[in-house]
């Protein structure tokens, strides 16, 4: 089979296309014939910094495909199931940029017969992160589902990003009022296509004034891509017992928060890293995202605010570079070509 691997950290040029035997699933693992591998910023950041083991590292956390073998202790009924994969390469050698990968059985989630593999490969990192960000506030429920956020308003900073898009789609599915910020008219179209009720151009408009006009009592959750730049605005619009969920580090920038103003609403500033979130929160997120997929509530493509950019397996380096360069939408690898 063909796979992509790197044996040293560095730029996209460290990624090699190799031939290798199809891997055997170990105890508790399943083998997946991968259709699409999803690329996220975490994949190029890991490639740039992580020290791979001597056998090399197959990149990319997210993917989708069909289970074709199971290891000892795993129910063989899974064979033939269409699945999406989450965190394939977290502290493991096998990512999804390969014709076949092996992952712990609990890292595959049934996709069902209808949803596309492109959607499946876009779910893991962005949707699980978005779920966490939408559910950490004391004023919000810890589950998402149709109607779960009725009466709540959320602010998605960066509504045309991959996580931002996932947050808009999940929040709309849960019937929240969604306000999204963007930097351009084109990105405004994408955030609206994802389902945002209100879109604010942060380069041209006063975000705090717009949010307070829409939600006079403030918002319950802020899904924050740039806390260093947006902290002052967030502090002005967070509602009673709301949470600002910071999931991106702005390249290592520091955040300054006005303490007294945040005491009034008992606001929570919550750091989010999807890999290390509490087990229970991760399990609920996986269940809820699977339900959203089954409900037909989440989509990919330009019509869902998430244009797809598909690369063949041999061009994984170009796919990584596209994400690093800030591609708008979702970068996928079709591992079958
Ligand atoms: N902690 C975690 O578990 C976790 C999980 C997923 C992703 N991440 C990190 O989160 C970041 C985003 O990931 P992604 O996949 O969503 O990337 P992406 O698709 O490139 O989206 C980033 C978005 O943020 C917007 N943005 C940048 N500065 C902004 C600002 N000041 N206000 C509002 N929007 C702003 C960008 O558009 P404009 O610049 O045009 O505004 C862009 O649409 C990456 O650094 C990634 O590593 C962390």
Output the CA angle 46-48-52, nearest 5 degrees.
Answer: 65
Looking only at the bridges linking them, the beta strands covering 108-110 and 82-85 are: antiparallel
Spell out which residues line ligand 1, taking CB within 6 angstroms. 40-42, 125-126, 129, 157-158, 160-164, 181, 183, 187, 202, 225-226, 229-230, 247-248, 272-274, 326
Place of tokens 């079958």: 336
pLDDT value at 143 more than 90:
yes
- Ligand 1, atom nearest to 159 Cα: 43
Share of the chain above pLDDT 70, in %: 100
Backbone angles phi, psi at 214, to 5 degrees: -75, -40
Closest among 219, 214, 170 to 194, alpha carbons compared = 170
Question: What are the structure tokens assigned to 116, written together?
Answer: 């596309």
Ligand 1 centroid to residue 80 C-alpha, Å:
35
Closest among 101, 108, 110, 111 to 26, alpha carbons compared = 101
Task: Report, as an integer, the average pLDDT of 235-264.
Answer: 95
CA–CA distance, 307 with 317 (Å, rounded to integer): 20
Q: What is the pLDDT of residues 77-131, one digit of tens each?
A: 999 999 999 999 999 999 999 999 999 999 999 999 999 999 999 999 999 999 9
Q: Give, for ligand 1, the residue of 125, 127, 155, 163 to mutate: max count of ligand atoms closer than 8 Å to Cβ.
A: 163
CA–CA distance, 133 with 123 (Å, rounded to integer): 15
- Ligand 1, atom nearest to 181 Cα: 33
Long-range contacts of 248-252 (CB under 8 A, 24+ apart): 248/163, 248/224, 250/226
Cα torsion for 87, 93, 94, 95, to the nearest 10°? 50
Q: What is the pLDDT of residues 154-183, one digit of tens each?
A: 999 999 999 999 999 999 999 999 999 999
Closest among 31, 201, 50, 45 to 125, alpha carbons compared = 45
CA 19 to chain centre: 30
CA 242 to chain centre: 22
For each of the domains in the chain, give its residue range(s) and CATH number, in order of start: 2-122+306-334 (3.90.180.10), 128-275 (3.40.50.720)
- Ligand 1, atom nearest to 277 Cα: 3
CA–CA distance, 105 with 175 (Å, rounded to integer): 32
Q: What is the pLDDT of residues 266-314, one digit of tens each?
A: 999 999 999 999 999 999 999 999 999 999 999 999 999 999 999 999 9
pLDDT number for residue 233 = 97
pLDDT value at 251 more than 90:
no
pLDDT number for residue 254 = 93
- Ligand 1, atom nearest to 250 Cα: 45
Q: pLDDT category, 203, cuts 50, 70, 90?
A: very high
CA 294 to chain centre: 18
pLDDT value at 50 more than 90:
no
Ligand 1 centroid to residue 164 C-alpha, Å:
7
What Å distances lie between residue 127 and 69, 121, 282, 319, CA to CA? 27, 11, 11, 20
Looking only at the bridges linking them, the beta strands covering 82-85 and 62-70 are: antiparallel
Q: Give, for ligand 1, the residue of 133, 248, 304, 328 to mutate: max count of ligand atoms closer than 8 Å to Cβ.
A: 248
Helices (H), the chain: 41-49, 117-121, 124-135, 162-173, 185-194, 207-214, 227-237, 259-263, 279-294, 316-324
Looking at every residue in the chain, the average pLDDT score rounds to 97
Task: Report, as an integer, the average pLDDT of 147-155.
Answer: 98
Task: Report, as an integer, the average pLDDT of 12-21.
Answer: 98
Q: Give, for ligand 1, the residue of 155, 187, 225 to mutate: max count of ligand atoms closer than 8 Å to Cβ.
A: 225
Q: What is the pLDDT of residues 66-76, one digit of tens each?
A: 999 999 999 99
Contact at 8 Å (CB) between 64 and 121? yes
DSSP 8-state assignment for residue 307: -
CB atoms within 10 A of CB 180: 32
- Ligand 1, atom nearest to 42 Cα: 47
* Residues ≥6 apart with Cβ < 8 Å to 258: 232, 235
Measured in residues, the chain has a length of 337
Q: Name the closest-CA residue to atom 4, ligand 1.
A: 247
Ligand 1 centroid to residue 163 C-alpha, Å:
7
């Amino acid at each position: 089979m063909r796979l992509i691997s790197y044996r040293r950290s560095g730029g996209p040029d460290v990624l090699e296309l190799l031939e290798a035997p199809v891997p055997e699933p170990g105890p508790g693992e399943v083998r997946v014939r991968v259709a699409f591998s999803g690329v996220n910023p975490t994949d190029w950041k890991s490639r740039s910094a992580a020290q791979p083991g001597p056998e090399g590292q197959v990149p990319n956390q997210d993917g989708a495909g069909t289970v074709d073998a199971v290891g000892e202790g795993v129910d063989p009924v899974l064979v033939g199931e269409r699945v999406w994969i989450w965190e394939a390469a977290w502290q493991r050698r096998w990512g999804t940029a390969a014709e076949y990968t092996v992952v712990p059985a609990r890292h595959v989630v049934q996709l069902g017969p209808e949803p596309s593999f492109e959607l499946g490969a876009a779910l893991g990192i962005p949707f699980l992160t978005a779920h966490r960000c939408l559910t950490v506030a004391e004023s919000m429920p810890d589950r998402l589902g149709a109607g779960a956020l009725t009466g709540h308003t959320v602010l998605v900073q960066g509504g045309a990003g991959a996580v931002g898009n996932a947050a808009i789609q999940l929040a709309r599915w849960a019937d929240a009022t969604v306000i999204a910020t963007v930097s351009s008219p084109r990105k405004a179209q994408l955030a609206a296509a994802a389902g945002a009720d209100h879109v604010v151009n942060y380069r041209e408009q006063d975000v705090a004034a717009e949010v307070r006009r829409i939600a006079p009592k403030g918002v319950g959750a802020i899904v924050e891509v740039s806390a260093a730049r947006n902290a002052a605005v967030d502090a002005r619009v967070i509602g009673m017992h709301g949470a600002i969920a910071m999931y991106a580090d702005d390249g290592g920038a520091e955040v300054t928060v006005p303490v007294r103003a945040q005491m009034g609403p008992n606001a929570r500033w919550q750091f989010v890293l999807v890999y290390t979130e509490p087990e229970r929160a991760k399990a609920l997120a996986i269940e809820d995202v699977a339900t959203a997929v089954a409900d037909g509530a989440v989509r990919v493509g330009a019509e869902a605010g998430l244009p797809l950019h598909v690369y063949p397996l041999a061009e994984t380096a170009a796919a990584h570079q596209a994400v690093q360069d800030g591609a708008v939408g979702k970068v996928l690898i079709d591992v079958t070509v």
